[in-house]
């Protein structure tokens, strides 16, 4: 394949993956819907930089080396799974408190509250970079589609495409969820949105935790 074909295929596969429901998608939906456009955009920026970092590490072979070290990869899985499960716990705890009128759901303060740009960016970056499934995805994507002898210009364009598509997609999602029309509808559904996002984080996080613990036990 020539480089144009490679880059087109890379962009197509990555864009399909971006649209699939997962921690990144859930993070944007939950926070853009609740805290507004600016928070959603900074989360999108954090997520896209996490994807850029994964892409660079995969392209340089560092991610592959991590994946080939079972103990190191299992440790990364444990940390990443714990973080995602924690986000899920916080979201579900907030829903439970709101349901039981322990505090105002719309004004509660919790660890899921993102009160400034830095927190929103950090939440997006950490959610993506600590997701071991993202590491495996980009290893597979880069190793199968980007040949080792590809030009530096081509590799640079590949990184730019992965980052650009990620930022544009998550920014558009944040923008759409924070329009006045959508905000009116979302307020009535906020409890269910938080609950669904909490379930997504919890299920993915605990499955990653279970996988890491199982792999470690097999090696004992």
Distances (CA, A) of 203 to 197, 199, 210: 10, 6, 10
Q: Give the tokens for residue 78.
A: 């444990």
Q: Give the tokens for residue 112.
A: 């899921």
Q: What angle do CA 101, 24, 190 make, to 5 degrees?
A: 25
pLDDT for 126 equals: 93
Q: Is the separation of the CB atoms in 203 and 57 below 8 Å?
A: no
Please report where in the chains the tokens 């440790």 appear, as a residue.
75
Q: Give the tokens for residue 38.
A: 């600016």
Q: What is the pLDDT of residues 73-99, one digit of tens each?
A: 888 888 888 988 988 888 787 776 666
109 pLDDT band, cuts 50/70/90, is very low
**Cα–chain-centroid distance for residue 114?**
16
pLDDT for 192 equals: 75
Indicate the domain borders of the chain: 3-15+28-218
105 pLDDT band, cuts 50/70/90, is very low
pLDDT for 100 equals: 65
SS in 3 state form for 148-165? CCCCHHHHHHHHHHHHHH
pLDDT more than 90, % of the chain = 33
Q: Look over the chain and give the mean of its residue pLDDT values, rounded to a whole number.
A: 83
pLDDT more than 70, % of the chain = 85
pTM, 2 dp: 0.82
d(CA 211, CA 78): 9
d(CA 50, CA 86): 19
pLDDT for 29 equals: 86
Q: What is the pLDDT of residues 136-164, one digit of tens each?
A: 899 888 888 888 888 999 999 999 999 99
Residue 196 has pLDDT above 90, yes or no: no
State the average pLDDT over residues 23-52. Answer: 89
pLDDT for 212 equals: 81
Which stretch, 46-50, 58-62, 193-197, has highest mean pLDDT? 46-50
Report CA dihedral (186, 190, 193, 196) to the nearest 10 degrees.
-160
């Amino acid at each position: 394949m020539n480089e144009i074909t490679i880059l087109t295929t890379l962009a197509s596969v990555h864009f399909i993956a971006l649209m699939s429901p997962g921690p990144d998608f859930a993070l944007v939906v939950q926070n853009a819907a609740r805290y507004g456009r600016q928070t959603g955009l900074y989360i999108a920026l954090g997520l896209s930089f996490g994807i850029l970092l994964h892409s660079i590490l995969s392209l340089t072979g560092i991610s592959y080396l991590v994946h080939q070290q079972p103990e190191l990869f299992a440790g990364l899985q444990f940390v990443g799974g714990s973080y995602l499960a924690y986000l899920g716990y916080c979201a579900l705890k907030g829903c439970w408190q709101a349901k039981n009128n322990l505090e105002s759901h719309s004004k509660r303060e919790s660890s899921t509250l993102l009160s400034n740009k830095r927190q929103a960016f950090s939440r997006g970056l950490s959610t993506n970079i600590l997701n071991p499934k993202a590491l495996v995805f980009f290893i597979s994507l880069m190793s199968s589609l980007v040949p080792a002898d590809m030009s530096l210009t081509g590799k640079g364009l590949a990184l730019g495409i992965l980052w650009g598509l990620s930022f544009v997609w998550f920014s558009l999602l944040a923008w759409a969820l924070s329009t006045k029309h959508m905000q009116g509808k979302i307020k009535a559904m906020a409890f269910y949105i938080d609950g669904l996002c909490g379930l997504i984080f919890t299920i993915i996080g605990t499955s990653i935790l279970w996988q890491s613990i199982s792999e470690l036990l097999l090696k004992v």
